[in-house]
Amino acid sequence: MSAAERLARARLETLLSSAGIALDGSAPHDLHVHDERFFGRVLAGGSLALGESYMDGWWSCERLDDFFARVLAAGLDRKTASTAWPGRFGALIFPLGRRSKAFVIGERHYDLGNELFEAMLDRRMNYSCAYWEEAATLDEAQERKLDLVCRKLGLAAGQRVLDIGCGWGGFAGFAAERYGVSVVGITVSKEQAAAAAERLRGLPVEIRLQDYRDLSESFDAVVSLGMFEHVGPRHHRTFFEVVRRCLREDGLFLLHTIGNYETTPAPDPWILKYIFPQSHIPSLARIAAAADRLFVVEDVQNFGAMYDPTLMAWHGNVESRRTSLPSRYDERFFRMWRYYLLSSAGSFRARHNQLFQVVLSPRGVRGGWAQVR
């Protein structure tokens, strides 16, 4: 090991020890280094280098989720200027969410193959945080979430509902079956659109491959579950303006989104490169500013802690079913996917990221919105 590598190792060892993490220790959350170039690479390259070196097999950890929960809870993301840890994001600001790139997230992430997501998700294929109150399984927790959304919106038979970012149609199918509504769902993923249309055949559901900015119709209620993270700060206001023009005066809009506890300027570079291009986690302040003078905020619920068990369930499903997946998902892909799911679980466990459900109305519910939980 060179002098520079020894110095980098000592610096990293000091940082990790403050979070109760040892190098090559015996605890499940300890970090094991397999290539001594790791130390200099991470301290120089930050968050991107940390994730890429894991994908390259330069280091390992038995419990990545616990590792990241400890790192973020200890504030190590704030103790180094090199952005060595996810959470203190160092990517340059660029125009996220611009129309010319609207379908990039579909092509790069959601079109990875329905086989992967069928193996990972619940039976209705919901790819957003589940609601684990009085639920023992992922299927139950996701149905609890869908029912919570329907009750918050006060859905009734005969209504017409818009689902922005409908995914594989989990909400659309549930709302049509259980509440007797018709649903228009839009997505920017070709694979999602095709699979959702097939899965929901026979129900009063229309699935479209469409950018949200092209919408100009009237709906009794609007919902968006896990799509707002791809809009980008420069287009938050446009998003809310589209919802406003599509929502009846007496309707309700429910926004379900991952949220940051601070207003950060740019996303994590590793997540941006490998998982969610054109993405940005909004703070509650950004959401409120975008809705200003367009909507009355009737309710905000944060159940971000429930994303931890959701992500762990997804991880468990992928790991247990990986041998049945096509060979194009190679070992490097699984290392990348494991890092994504478990680092995210650790972030929510440390309460570094949140999950907001926000209920909004165009002019305020007369007499007040009756809180639903």
Tell me what the mean pLDDT of segment 253-281 comes to: 89
Residue with tokens 């009794």: 220
Give the CA distances from residue 327 to residues 57, 239, 330, in Å, rounded to whole numbers and listed in that order.
19, 39, 6
Tell me what the mean pLDDT of segment 251-273 comes to: 90
Task: Give me the pLDDT at residue 316, please.
Answer: 98
Residue 95 — very low, low, confident or very high, per pLDDT cuts 50/70/90? very low
| The residue type at 194 | A
How many residues in total does the chain contain? 373
Task: For 281-312, give one letter per residue: b (16+ CB within 10 A) or e.
Answer: bbbbebbeebbeebbebbbebebbebbbbbbb
CA dihedral 14, 16, 19, 25 (to 10 degrees): -110
Residue 100 — very low, low, confident or very high, per pLDDT cuts 50/70/90? very low
Mean pLDDT of the chain: 92
Residue 299 contacts residue 359 (beta carbons within 8 Å): yes
Domains and CATH numbers, the chain: 3-78 (no CATH), 101-361 (3.40.50.150)
Residues of the chain with pLDDT > 90, as a percent, come to 83
Residue 196 contacts residue 208 (beta carbons within 8 Å): no
Range with the lowest mean pLDDT among 97-111, 162-176, 256-270? 97-111
What's the token pair of residue 56?
């390259």
Residue 84 — very low, low, confident or very high, per pLDDT cuts 50/70/90? very low
Predicted confidence (pLDDT) at residue 89 exceeds the cutoff of 70? no
Residue 80 — very low, low, confident or very high, per pLDDT cuts 50/70/90? low
Digit-coded pLDDT (tens) for 6-35: 888 999 999 999 999 999 999 999 999 999
| The residue type at 312 | M
Task: Give me the pLDDT at residue 96, please.
Answer: 52
Range with the lowest mean pLDDT among 45-49, 131-135, 237-241, 276-280? 276-280
Predicted confidence (pLDDT) at residue 296 exceeds the cutoff of 60? yes
Digit-coded pLDDT (tens) for 303-348: 999 999 999 999 999 999 999 999 999 999 999 999 999 999 999 9
